[in-house]
Structure 1
């Protein structure tokens, strides 16, 4: 079937750092197998694997709960193609870094 990889597998590992209360780190990976672009199965996109890394730190500042987060997606800056629709692929997202903060009032 066009657009449906035969295999998709994902895993996530998280860890609460015991000597830094409120700090969590994690890594996840996703494997997507070869994807057919046409029903005739004569054109396909090769499989790929990407990894993401993240951390969050929760604390209390001036009486408010604050969560700081950082993440790196596509850690290895893997170049890959993703099925968009029949006969068309789009480039996968490049490595990116995100930072954010949440303050609960």
Structure 2
């Protein structure tokens, strides 16, 4: 189990998560289906804080994806959950 690690900021983590999803079509396609976006509109949406929260929400809603992503970065999955809550405006005490 990865040990808890501080992450510089929630937006950076969400952008890394987006890259993680985009790196494999079988990860990206369910996300696009959920959001209603297409590959051509993905880049423009990436600048929106609500979109970045949705990226992390998608990861957090799928435990295997969450664990794989967190494991790739050697992060405790709770860091990802707190970053999602931070971007969504939910108070969690997340301190980047």
TM-score by length of 2: 0.23
Which protein has the bigger helix share?
Answer: 2
TM-score (norm 1): 0.22
Give the structure with higher Rg (CA): 1
